[in-house]
C-alpha cells in the first residue's frame, strides 16, 4: 500500500548511508556523488559522519561509518529505492551475508510524510527509531522531525537509545556533493 499525505512536485526524503569495508569515508563520498548525479535526485544536505559498532546478529565485523543525506526528488518512493540500489551495485555492494560487512549501504528512511507498506519497501524505514546510527545524523539535519506513523518527535526516540554508542568522525562538509547545486534533473 502506498499512501501519500501531501506530495508536491518535488518530495523531500532522507537517505541513510553506511559502510564498513575498504575506505569507508570515500565510499560514503562516492555514494553521495552518485546519488546527487542520478536523474530526478538532488542531495541538498548531509549530516556529520559518525562511527558506530556493528548492530544485529553479525558483530564480528569492522566498525561502520554512518551518515544521513536529505534529498529532493521528482521520483516516487519505489523509483528512489531503485536509484539507491543502482548506486550500491555501482559501488560494489554484494548482498551475501544479511546484516554483514558491506562496502556501502543506502536506506530510504523517510519520504516526506508518505507511508509505504509494499513488498520490498517500507517507508518509514522499519529500524528508523531503533538505531542511534540512523537517528543521530537524521536529527542533525531535522531536529523537529516527527514519525509519519506515530506523530512522535523522533528526538524523543533518541533519548531511549542512550546505550547505543556513536562517535563523531567527520563534519558534514566531508560528504558534500561535488556537483553544482540546482534542481533535480
70 within a domain of the structure (yes/no): yes
Domain count, the chain: 1
Residue range 112-164, pLDDT digits in tens: 999 999 999 999 998 888 899 999 999 999 999 999 999 999 998 888 888 89
Q: Where are the alpha helices (DSSP H) in 13-131?
A: 24-36, 77-90
Note the pLDDT of residue 157: 87
d(CA 90, CA 180): 22
Grid cell digits, residue 176: 558534500
Position 111 confidence tier, pLDDT thresholds 50, 70, 90: very high
Quick one: which of 108, 105, 141 has its CA closest to 124? 108
| CA pair distance 49, 12, nearest whole angstrom | 21
CATH number at residue 161: 3.30.70.560
Asked if the structure places residue 183 within a domain, the reply is no
| Top-confidence residue, 45 or 128 | 45
4 inside domain: no
181 occurs within a structural domain: no
81 located within any domain = yes
Residue appearing with cell numbers 519505489: 78
Judge whether 130 lies within some domain. Answer: yes
Does the bond joining 124 to the residue before it have cis omega, within 30 degrees of 0? yes
> From CA 168, how far away is CA 12, in angstroms rounded?
25
Confidence class for position 29, pLDDT limits 50, 70, 90: very high
Strand, coil or helix: 87: helix
Active site residues: 93, 102, 105, 107
154 located within any domain:
yes
Q: Determine the structural domain holding residue 17 and report its residue range.
A: 9-174
> Is the entire prediction scored with pTM above 0.75?
yes
CA distance 94 to 16: 18
Q: What is the DSSP letter of 77?
A: H
Asked if residue 1 belongs to a domain, the reply is no
Amino acid at each position: 500500500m502506498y499512501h501519500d499525505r501531501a506530495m508536491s512536485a518535488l518530495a523531500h526524503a532522507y537517505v541513510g548511508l553506511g559502510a564498513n569495508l575498504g575506505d569507508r569515508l570515500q565510499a560514503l563520498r562516492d555514494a553521495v556523488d552518485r546519488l546527487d548525479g542520478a536523474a530526478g535526485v538532488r542531495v541538498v544536505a548531509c549530516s556529520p559522519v559518525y562511527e558506530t559498532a556493528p548492530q544485529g546478529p553479525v558483530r564480528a565485523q569492522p566498525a561502520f561509518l554512518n551518515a544521513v543525506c536529505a534529498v529532493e526528488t521528482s521520483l516516487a518512493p519505489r523509483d528512489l529505492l531503485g536509484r539507491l540500489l543502482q548506486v550500491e551495485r555501482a559501488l560494489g555492494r554484494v548482498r551475501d551475508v544479511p546484516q554483514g560487512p558491506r562496502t556501502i549501504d543506502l536506506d530510504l528512511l523517510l519520504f516526506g510524510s508518505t507511508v509505504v507498506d509494499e513488498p520490498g519497501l517500507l517507508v518509514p524505514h522499519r529500524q528508523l527509531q531503533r538505531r542511534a546510527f540512523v537517528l543521530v545524523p537524521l536529527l542533525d539535519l531535522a531536529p523537529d522531525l516527527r514519525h509519519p506513523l506515530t506523530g512522535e518527535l523522533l528526538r524523543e526516540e533518541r533519548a531511549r537509545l542512550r546505550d547505543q554508542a556513536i562517535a563523531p568522525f567527520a563534519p558534514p562538509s566531508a560528504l558534500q556533493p561535488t556537483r553544482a547545486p540546482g534542481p533535480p534533473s
